[in-house]
Amino acid sequence: MNSPTDCCHCGVCCFSELPTYVRVYGGDWHRLGPAAEQVAHFIGNRAYMKMREGHCAALEQRRGPGGTPEFFCTVYAERPEICRALARGSPECEGELARKSAPRPLTA
Ligand code: SF4
Ligand code: SF4
């Protein structure tokens, strides 16, 4: 499968119904700074990104030119390590694309 040329027009790896989808380790929490309390939380004694409506709480969805859906990580510079490791075109990216259906349509 060919990965998209731009993650902003994909966003697939930021979608999941799993509440424990994106682990937030201690270093991640520290790097997130004040945003950590808004976008992450503890489940038991481990921290994860909050998931809302089937996607990470830090994901922003917009409509670009012509109504094209666009996806942005609002904490991109401070995103967790697991997100940093998932590079576009990597086997993990290809796996995400192969495993998941298209993100839900925007409601905006
Ligand atoms: S890393 Fe891959 S799955 Fe994630 S947004 Fe980019 S192209 Fe899509
Ligand atoms: S932190 Fe950013 S890159 Fe990671 S899953 Fe959430 S929106 Fe996607």
Structure confidence by residue, pLDDT tens digits, 6-24: 999 999 999 999 999 999 9
- In this structure, the residues whose C-beta lies within 6 A of any atom of ligand 2 are 14, 22, 49, 56, 58-59, 73, 75, 79-80, 83
Could you report the per-residue pLDDT of 39-51, keeping only the tens digit for each? Answer: 999 999 999 999 9
Centre of ligand 1 from the C-alpha of residue 83, in Å: 10
Pairwise CA distance, residues 77 & 72, whole Å: 12
pLDDT at residue 12, as a whole number? 95
> Between residues 32 and 64, which one has the greater pLDDT?
32
Q: Where are the alpha helices (DSSP H) in 26-90?
A: 26-32, 36-39, 81-85
Residue range 44-60: mean pLDDT, rounded: 97
- Ligand 1: which atom is nearest the Cα of residue 89? 2
